[in-house]
Amino acid sequence: MSKRLRSSEVCADCSAQDPCWASINRGILICDECCSVHRSLGRHISQVRHLKHTPWPPTLLQMVETLYNNGANSIWEHSLLDPASVMSGRRKASPQDKVHPNKAEFIRAKYQMLAFVHRLPCREDDSVTAKDLSKQLHSSVRTGNLETCLRLLSLGAQANFFHPEKGNTPLHVAAKAGQTLQAELLAVYGADPGTQDSNGKTPVDYARQGGHHELAERLVEIQYELTDRLAFYLCGRKPEHKNGQHFVIPQMADSLDLSELAKAAKKKLQSLSNHLFEELAMDVYDEVDRRETDAVWLATQNHSTLVTETTVVPFLPVNPEYSSTRNQGRQKLARFNAHEFATLVIDILSDAKRRQQGNPLAGSKENVELILKSISNQHSSESQDNDQPDYDSVASDEDTDLETNAAKSNRQKSLDSDLSDGPVTAQEYMQVKNALVASEVKIQQLMKVNINLSDELRIMQKKASKLEKQSSMSESDYDNPTTPLELEETGSGRKGRQRSVIWQGEGSIPEDTDTAPSSSLPSTEDVIRKTEQITKNIQELLRAAQENKHDSYIPCSERIHVAVTEMAALFPKKPKSELVRTSLRLLTSSAYRLQSECKKTLPVETCPTTDIQLVTQQVIQCAYDIAKAAKQLVTITTKENNN
């Protein structure tokens, strides 16, 4: 690492001294705490790498250093540099701020919502704007001005743009001009070194033709980066591309004694279309990155000072641009033990080599999800590791059709660590899970669209709290700011006057001293039916948000509240299970908060301080919390009723 990077550097997000991590695609340096938030966003948002404990291609590190030293951070904080932003109350995070919610909210706004980047004037045809930006990028990469190119990429310029008049891509131009750092930046944003121009030449060809031999060698490395990374993960070696060796295929000690399941999984992998195979390989690459970064993270952290929840990224975060089935497969990769994962990596390396050499196999419609199951079930006789991190699995459309009885039995053992993925026979359950995941993806997409102005949001909430006549705060099990709820109290106790109908907006389960705690739960089928109704109404609300139909918020929220009340009424007044009580509290308080937020969309003369974008964001968050709570109740009742 250069001397310039070792001294007086500060975190791009909170200005803490001596940042140890870099976000490659953002061209910035970040501290440990901010890095934990970047990791939780996923590699599609931020690609992090430790400055000292992770191997760096020299020119890639030089590219990040150049961007950082030339003010790349100002791209992501453009509007914050405007003096008017100080007057409006907007500010960046500081080293003293808590990771949650302060730093996390700021980082999500900055990189996920792109809340502070310079926005071009709105035009009717966005594709024309993207084309213009891409043409500018095509011209700019022949120079050494990296920051200009990063700005264009941040605005939507395409790294793989094929210029219709010039007949080539920006990477062809950079390679011909010998612009190594521009080539690194373009590659980070997805530029393909193997793309041919109108003359049938690749960027590698132009680099060699221009005498830029080191650049040519680096472009070849970039071309094989995926398979090189997988091989290095398993055996610590990379191929000698200079000598024409492009693949290293590690061998495991028991690889010659493959089980029938292993052979079947390998055959299914080979029968995938090239498109599906590439998707699976990219997902495995992301999982390798997650595991390697985890190892560096654990080796470098002061665990006595960092909050545990900021350090854990137990599975690949959901990418809203991917299908629910693909997101499920990505999440399941985290549950593979070392042997299973190594088997999958070796199979991918072997088949990548076969495909590149053009050895054909008969086509098939095999699904990636089925292949992952086959590999993870190779060791079905081994005990399941219940220490695996908890996470919400994404339901596959093929679960009920493709799982064998043996696999279901195997999965039963791990119910405690993965409630939502248990062997449920009801087809409706799978449909509900799919619908909930679809809602979750829509929520994330909408949150990307809506600008997150967290500081202004907190100011709004404080004003709203003063306006409302509330007398107490409801406890909840999630991190969002809590809205004061209508709980009536008398004297110094919390008994108060209970309403005759429970869960009519109080936001918590009434304490009924005359009722003994009950361990009985409703049937799974009843809970599923109510969850379906909630999900249907949530999706209707999300569609309204996506289409800016703000006048539909209130009727949608009322229908959701009715469905939530009906679902809550299925459960005993005083559930014995703390998990049930917590989920019901989240369900009902979120429904009440949703109604409260939706009322802010009334005509401006009624609510003159309303910022509709902020309201929409809160509405989306409430809808997500309701969906999450409903899903929790489905999984709890399913597990208990199956026992």
pLDDT of 82 above 90: no
Instruction: Flag whether 488 is in a domain.
Output: no
Q: Which residues of 264-289 are buried (b: 16+ CB within 10 A; e: fewer)?
A: bbbebbbbbeeebbebbbebbbbbbb
Q: How confident is the model at residue 201 (pLDDT cuts 50, 70, 90)?
A: very high
Contacts of 618 (CB under 8 A, 6+ apart): 457, 593, 597
Instruction: Flag whether 117 is in a domain.
Output: no
**106/133 same-domain check:** no
Domain boundary among 73, 89, 112: 112
Instruction: Flag whether 482 is in a domain.
Output: no
**394/343 same-domain check:** yes
pLDDT of 420 above 80: no
Instruction: Flag whether 242 is in a domain.
Output: no
CATH number, position 572: 1.20.120.330
Instruction: Round to whole Å and give the CA distance between 225 and 13.
Output: 29
**594/554 same-domain check:** yes
The reported pTM is: 0.60
**83/143 same-domain check:** no
**291/384 same-domain check:** yes
Instruction: Flag whether 234 is in a domain.
Output: no
Q: 457 or 120: which carries more pLDDT confidence?
A: 120
Domain boundary among 56, 81, 112: 112
> What token pair was written down for 544?
């309204």
- Count of structural domains within the chain: 4
**412/464 same-domain check:** no
**HEC assignment per residue over 157-201:** CCCCCCCCCCCCCHHHHHHHHCCHHHHHHHHHCCCCCCCCCCCCC
Instruction: Flag whether 44 is in a domain.
Output: yes
**418/542 same-domain check:** no
pLDDT given at position 144: 94
pLDDT given at position 402: 32
Q: Are 275 and 339 in contact (CB under 8 A)?
A: no
Whole-Å CA distances, 584 to 30, 379, 421, 594: 39, 38, 21, 15
Whole-Å CA distances, 150 to 16, 73, 74, 161: 24, 10, 11, 15
pLDDT tens digits, 461-484: 454 454 444 433 333 332 333 332
Contacts of 289 (CB under 8 A, 6+ apart): 43, 47, 229
CATH number, position 213: 1.25.40.20
pLDDT given at position 203: 98
Domain extent at residue 583: 447-468+505-642
Question: Hey, what amino acid is at 150?
Answer: L
Domain boundary among 175, 200, 223: 223
**190/65 same-domain check:** no
Q: What is the largest CA-CA distance in the chain?
A: 87
Highest mean pLDDT among 428-442, 557-571, 612-626: 557-571
Q: Indicate the SS3 state at residue 50.
A: strand
**314/396 same-domain check:** yes
**33/134 same-domain check:** no
> What token pair was written down for 196?
């041919």
Instruction: Flag whether 497 is in a domain.
Output: no
pLDDT tens digits, 112-144: 999 999 877 766 566 668 899 999 999 999 999
Whole-Å CA distances, 9 to 5, 24, 27: 7, 16, 13
**63/192 same-domain check:** no
**203/315 same-domain check:** no
Q: What percentage of the chain reaches a pLDDT higher than 70?
A: 68
Instruction: Flag whether 403 is in a domain.
Output: yes
Q: Are 16 and 95 in contact (CB under 8 A)?
A: yes
- DSSP annotation of 48 reads E
